[in-house]
Chain A
Amino acid sequence: MKDYIKTGLILMAYMVVTGFLVALVYVVTKPKVDEADFRSKVSAIESVLKKAGTDELLVESVPNSAEKLNGYIYKKAEGELFKASNGSKVLSPLYKFAGKNQEVYVITFSGVGFGGDVVCVGAFIKQDGVLTLNKIEVINYSNETPGLGANISLEQVKERFSVIPGSGLENGVKVNKDVGVTAQTEEEIKYNKSQGVVQTSDVMTGATITPRAVANGINTVIEYLRKEGEI
């Protein structure tokens, strides 16, 4: 009996000491961790706020502190803002930046990929009541297969989702494999985008599920904005 208590106490002592050390490291690194997380969030927002293909910002300036960024929050909710029946989500918070004659929504959304949610940030421009998708940035694809689905983060793949005009968003965004068309020229790719068909089969072969997740996410954003009466 005495032996049990003794071993138990020794084990407890080890737990207390290591627990204390982990807590100490946590407290010391907390501000740095928050800052690093914030920085990566802002760099994603900054990237989608640039006009597709250029370095020109759609808004006057990108907020450089958490308080300033919070000032742009337009819609906020516990958990997600909206969830579609296929599992795609619009995540909170939703930022809105006002430009000269346009409004820019910066929206975080997710779609169900191969191994879990694929999370993206996208900038949607509203001008004269018409919504255009400017650019997306894929921020979490950690459950996708490296070499296949994880190629979603490649520049040439993200480019294919960049600038989807209002007519395409209206039709609903689809991956070209699901529609059964393959464009051969740049013009065709661009024309297909205006119909809502995004070509990915040539830049990320063998993976359809991951780009489909992104397309579903974009459609969910449109559904949400429609429901909220924004468009």
Chain B
Amino acid sequence: MADIKNLTKGLIKENPLFIQVLGTCPALATTTNAKNALGMGVAVIAVLVLSNIVISVIRKMVPNKIRIPIFIVVIASFVTMIDLLMHAFTYDLWKVLGIFIPLIVVNCVLMGRAEAFASKNGVVDSILDGIGMGGGYALALFVMGSIREILGNGSWLGLSFLPQAFKMYIFILPPGAFITFGILIAVINAINLRKEKIEKEKKKAGETK
């Protein structure tokens, strides 16, 4: 049964980057500006949806013992094919995303969703999960990229608005990635904890009545 929750849970509640802490390597490396982050995010959505579909389709034909190598083969060949196709047909986009596409192979979000969701659920649910989790990942990257670009380069999506003196270069460099990442995880956790607390109180109030 298709469940719309599979689509929405990836955005904040089970955000792959901030809550599950999956795929952090590309998240630190590609978020130096908002545009690169968005490019990586979109590429991950595409590959995640496709690999979720295939893994969901073949899930009953995969022996339990060797499921991990088979998932890796499926994901790696998908990424290779997409890389070749983009190289051939959308050269400019391929050039911009160049280094990110091979990076998707090692992105744990894909393995994580294949193992935790697509290998246990139907095709439609897996597509929803792929879009939701991919979307959550892309959103997280975009927020990180935006913060780093605004603070570090005084611009957003290439539009420059801060004068030279206000730029904090540390945010474009690796340490800035860790700082931004840590603070964002804390913020998202705080939001989720607060939500839980409110829900608990509501429940309590309902019980006492």
Residues on A lying within 8 angstroms of B by beta carbon are 7, 10-11, 14-15, 18-19, 21-22, 25-26, 29, 32-33, 36, 39-40, 142, 145-148, 205-206
Interface residues of B, CB < 8 Å — how many? Answer: 30
Question: Which B residues are CB-close (under 8 A) to A40?
Answer: 91, 95
Q: Kindly supply a per-residue 1/0 record for chain B positions 41-78, scoring 1 wherever the CB is within 8 Å of any chain A CB and 0 otherwise.
A: 00000000000000000000001011001100110010
Query: How many angstroms between the C-alpha atoms of A32 and B94 in the bound complex?
Result: 13
Q: Is there an interface contact between A11 and B70, defined as CB atoms closer than 8 Å?
A: yes
A-B pairs with lowest CB-CB distance, top 3: A32-B88, A29-B88, A146-B32
Residues on A with beta carbons closer than 8 Å to the beta carbon of B88: 29, 32-33, 36
CB of A170, distance to nearest CB on chain B (Å): 34
- For the residues of B in contact with A, the DSSP-based class is helix
Contact of A206 among B63, B80, B169 (CB under 8 A): B169
**Interface flag for B164 (CB, 8 Å):** yes
Q: How far is the CA of A18 from the CA of B85 in the complex (A)?
A: 16
Provide 25 A-B residue pairs closer than 8 Å at the C-beta atoms, listed in order of the A residue.
A7-B66, A11-B66, A11-B69, A14-B70, A14-B73, A18-B73, A18-B77, A21-B81, A22-B80, A22-B81, A25-B81, A26-B84, A29-B88, A32-B88, A33-B84, A33-B88, A36-B87, A36-B91, A145-B172, A146-B32, A147-B149, A148-B169, A148-B172, A148-B173, A206-B169
Of all chain A residues, the one with the shortest Cβ separation from B91 is A36
B89 at the interface (CB under 8 A from A): yes
The answer for the CA separation of A98 and B207 in the assembled complex, in Å, is: 91
Residue-by-residue, is B139-156 near A (CB-CB < 8 Å gives 1, otherwise 0)? 000000000010011000
Q: B33 in the interface, Cβ–Cβ < 8 Å?
A: yes
- Bound CA–CA A21/B76 (angstroms): 12
CB neighbours (8 Å) of B185 from chain A are none
Closest chain B residue to A148, Cβ basis:
B172
The chain B residue with its CB closest to the CB of A8 is: B66
B interface residues, Cβ below 8 angstroms from A:
32-33, 36, 63, 65-66, 69-70, 73-74, 77, 80-81, 84-85, 87-89, 91, 95, 98-99, 149, 152-153, 164, 167, 169, 172-173
Q: With contacts A22-B77, A147-B149 known, is A29 near B87, CB below 8 A?
A: yes
B85 touches A25 (CB 8 A): yes
Give the residue of A10, A26, A146, A206 whose beta carbon is less than 8 angstroms from that of B36.
A146
CB atoms of B66 and A145 under 8 A apart = no
